[in-house]
Structure 1
């Protein structure tokens, strides 16, 4: 999934409202002079746009040419931006935003006021920024040893088998001999596997259970324990910042941006509507995993151990499609070979993506885009390759950074990033504070809605990349929907529970953080740790968004909202039939609706945008479109699960004992090592 990049100096505003009345949580001053407030906002817009340009340009130079020479000016600009943010908040807090007559000016002031971190004293503000930077550095530098061997130790017997090409395992020695290296030069030279790409690749493609367990556990050993104390101090500081700004805690400050006094209940109501679909998918996947790994790894009616689902956090299951494909004799949809046969290049892929949007009557990208973007990996430069779209805040310069390869996955990513660029172009005339999505979820939701029309059998046929002449269309369609469900439906409970956990920590404190994390994983995902966990492990620290101070509920909302947006685009295009077969390519009516969604930016609340989008039918997010999209797959899953005694999972005392009891670290380590050793033995004997 790509990302949208734009330097923002405030929190984004609004999602939808169950209640029209909005509680004013943030601090406000006593100055009621609307003229002075308007003058302040004009000056802020000019200065914020210039600051945003300088910071974004410095960041661009660094990530497209990673050198110490480029790092220093980036850090200097970020420091200036932080000072500007704090100064702007202190000026804005002098005004009584509720008494400003102009509603758009009132909205802009509110956005600045809700940026409550600026309320900290200077020393604590600096400490908070330093803590976040340290946690990011620890996370990004985490490395583990390869699973396959421990070199330079001739005293440990090796067991070689037909797995030699994949590595070898230990069988005749107690597990304590198979320890990670101490941090010596030998360690740094050999133990250099990082999350991306090596560890992620193993979790996605290895089918050796003991190897999956090894990388899952060891990555957490290199992150959580080092981050735990820092995160505890981070919680203290962000809570203090929130209280200083008029909130009860930092979680309430996050939720206030969505303008719903019952936000937690509202989002949980949305989540509950997709639970039946998730449990059908979960039950089917568990059975196929049980067939692959057996009862030594999981129970046929229990939760799924987290390391078996193809992803470090069990949040995206698409990598195990080979284990769960409904119809293996029918192909999965992948047009990479056809793209290669037709001589596609990265440039052609971006031109194709631009034409997708201009065919709907939307704006072409400006010439600066083609001159400035990094569309392929440059030679002899160190670059950060995560696909992202960039707004340089000057209404001229927009770019994409992507190390594009000629694959179907990158073709979809290209259309996704170009959707972000289209969003930038559509709201370019808005003030700086309004140049963002209608709420934090909208940018991703709209970009993903567009790609639902691109990664689509009908569309791929229309553009000449897919021909389905010899295969059963129903089987191909179910395979396609399974791929989508492993990415979208499987993600929903994880995206929902991350901030449920974070808000709990902000409210209840830092005691039993790890226990609470796994309680929520079990409750919402049906996922358990494969080995015992204690409070010293701090497994939430293995998720970057948590330690880097990035909210996560927006990803849950975006995944729900993308299907709602897509369905409305299909209605505008006059498309009926199955939702997963809708293609809005070349529909000017769909383009006009998409423009209506994007042009206001965040100058209107999300509830207003949704009301416009649905022609007045609702102003709330709804999962009904998502459920309709996956209806054919859900019916198929119900048939597959009809012999199952339980759709969902039973929780046993053994499951709870993995994380619920306070166990001293030495005992836990011994038990953990014993379990992993037994897994290593089983792998050699029975693989």
Structure 2
């Protein structure tokens, strides 16, 4: 990039979608720029279709041939991205009379790394591909077994785990892992039984085992197979990402990531949001910690301290729903699960998708096109390997939309089906926008809208309305508290993790790659109240155990999406005429809610998030607000405060033993100065 352009960029505002930011070139021909955007729209749509189709063919039929074809298309797409970036950067966007054209030019440049040289541009993409392949190929041995011995039988893991306390009795009574599993019949083509992957085997163990030594083993083993192999590659990735960002006029790669939110005070804004939800999280944390002390004892969980990360039912301690059996407020009342009712009524995967489509059309939204039913993969196909993670696909041609999901007849998959169909509805609503605007208003919007719609599907009034929940023998208050606890373990417990991932990433981009693992655990302790179960060093690189970090996917959008989904849901409930507790609202068949959803979705990314929020709230605010989330969980928070009334600490104390697990030198220094230690570490965080 020319020195004059860099000098000009140095004086521009830091946020990419401001109208006068990308004065990146000297071409002031407005008609030529408009023609370029028309050509770009046509060519980008075609490129998007080819890349998306190649990716679809690979994930629905995993073969080496399909993988090669996908990589070929991705390589062509990278070349197209780089060429388009160079053309867009040649224009003086401020001279365009159309604000939408200025916005489109900004979007072409905003998140791209095309300012790198061809060699470095190829290198950073290759690094990301290598890191993803290392992550996806990580496998460990079963607990208590050594690498392959043909005389030792393999074990298999059940495909369905019971959801009630009764299902955990084998662990509690025998204290032996997998005693109730059937022996695995050895496949001679795959003689090595050390083939447990994160999904499904490792995740199932973390979710359902209550043997601490087993949990520790799988937690540690997966990190041993990922972090050390990824660390050096990630360090080089940071260097290249920062170089690309600086070349484009940003301070660093974190600054470039944040620019998509069009908020000059973005970091302060998200921290303010987090501080507003922290008291609710602390109440939940304190209650859950007491239950874990009862299960594992004070030698494993200190009654006033942080929680060891391997005990929360999830590889990253981000979702605690799997330990519901340990923390259920009213065990004698049911935890809502209509799977048995679905099976009894003869539900099929196809019927589940038809039910989800009817949920949206009942509000006046669009039915899916015929291509959806012809092209989607709604069940696991026989005789071929597929990638089963549920996802919605837009093939960029305004016709073809699909869902990939290995659907089973369960309540969880019913919720997932409604969620993915909400993404399809979003695609349909903004289909007439230019290619650059066929996305959410900011990176958080797609997930927020999909989750907001499914909040209505989760609850008892809706399940009763569609004939899937008929149990009226239990106290409604107890059932409601169990439901809210389950939701809090999924949503509230997730917030500090979703907040801190990019806090860590931005600090690495800003301050460098020294002490990356120590920073990770410092933030885990500060925001989540979570510590590693065993000592960690800089050789471990535990952030590498999170796929979004090594695959170059920003994460703060999930924090904001979780906040925003309740804000959107609250507005949908208001226009639908709901009164009463927010968690009991059902927007099914509300045409007014459908109209508001359509207003949110139709603009796509052609309007800023602040404009859409202002319109959604009828002018009351233009900012993402956690007030609706707090109100949704208020009945549970009041209950938690009563349960925690005898606790000396709401939150957690940390001491040098906690810090020594990931920063031994620092901890030992503080150990020599008890007064300083007390001031700095013996505090309740937050």
1:46 aligned partner: 42
Q: 2:301 aligned with 1:298, yes or no?
A: yes
1:505 aligned partner: 508
Distance of 1:312 and 1:620 partners within structure 2: 32
Q: 2:330 aligned with 1:318, yes or no?
A: no
Question: Which digits, 9 at most, give the CA deviation of each residue in 1:635-664, with x for residues without a partner?
Answer: 00000000000100001110011111259x
Distance of 1:382 and 1:97 partners within structure 2: 47
Distance of 2:307 and 2:205 partners within structure 1: 18
Question: Which digits, 9 at most, give the CA deviation of each residue in 1:545-571, with x for residues without a partner?
Answer: 000000000000000000000000000
Distance of 2:409 and 2:609 partners within structure 1: 36
Q: 2:558 aligned with 1:594, yes or no?
A: no
Deviation at 1:340, TM superposition (A): 0.3
Q: 2:47 aligned with 1:84, yes or no?
A: no
**SS of aligned partner of 2:365:** coil
| Correspondence list, 1:204-243, <5 A | 204-243=207-246
TM-score, length-scaled by structure 2? 0.89
CA RMSD of aligned residues (A): 2.1
Indicate how the Cα distance of structure 1 residues 424 and 75 shifts in structure 2: closer, same or farther if over 3 A, else same.
Answer: same
1:409 aligned partner: 412
Deviation at 1:165, TM superposition (A): 6.1
2:170 aligned partner: none
Distance of 1:279 and 1:238 partners within structure 2: 35
In the alignment, is the contact (CA less than 8 A) between 1:377 and 1:403 conserved in 2? yes
Distance of 2:151 and 2:537 partners within structure 1: 34
**SS of aligned partner of 2:196:** coil
Question: Which digits, 9 at most, give the CA deviation of each residue in 1:18-67, with x for residues without a partner?
Answer: x9994866561111111011000000000000001111111111111111
1:173 aligned partner: none
Q: 2:73 aligned with 1:101, yes or no?
A: no
**SS of aligned partner of 1:223:** helix
In the alignment, is the contact (CA less than 8 A) between 2:124 and 2:237 conserved in 1? yes
1:194 aligned partner: 197
After the TM superposition, which of the residue ranges 106-115 and 470-479 deviates more from structure 2?
106-115
1:182 aligned partner: none
Distance of 2:114 and 2:478 partners within structure 1: 55
Gaps of 5+ in 1: 1-16, 156-160, 169-184, 664-687
TM-score, length-scaled by structure 1? 0.89
Distance of 2:112 and 2:394 partners within structure 1: 24
Distance of 1:127 and 1:92 partners within structure 2: 23
Distance of 1:242 and 1:222 partners within structure 2: 31
Deviation at 1:98, TM superposition (A): 1.9
Distance of 1:97 and 1:391 partners within structure 2: 29
After the TM superposition, which of the residue ranges 518-527 and 95-104 deviates more from structure 2?
95-104
Alignment partner of 2:178 out of 142, 151, 166: 166
Distance of 2:151 and 2:114 partners within structure 1: 57
Q: Count residues with an aligned counterpart.
A: 626
Deviation at 1:298, TM superposition (A): 1.2
In the alignment, is the contact (CA less than 8 A) between 1:25 and 1:247 conserved in 2? no
Distance of 2:447 and 2:284 partners within structure 1: 24
**SS of aligned partner of 2:607:** coil
**SS of aligned partner of 1:261:** coil
Alignment partner of 1:576 out of 576, 579, 586: 579
Alignment partner of 1:558 out of 556, 561, 564: 561
Indicate how the Cα distance of structure 1 residues 520 and 27 shifts in structure 2: closer, same or farther if over 3 A, else same.
Answer: farther
Distance of 2:470 and 2:542 partners within structure 1: 45
In the alignment, is the contact (CA less than 8 A) between 2:16 and 2:106 conserved in 1? no
**SS of aligned partner of 2:192:** helix
Distance of 2:138 and 2:23 partners within structure 1: 40
**SS of aligned partner of 2:201:** helix
Distance of 1:129 and 1:60 partners within structure 2: 20
1:254 aligned partner: 257
Q: 2:477 aligned with 1:474, yes or no?
A: yes
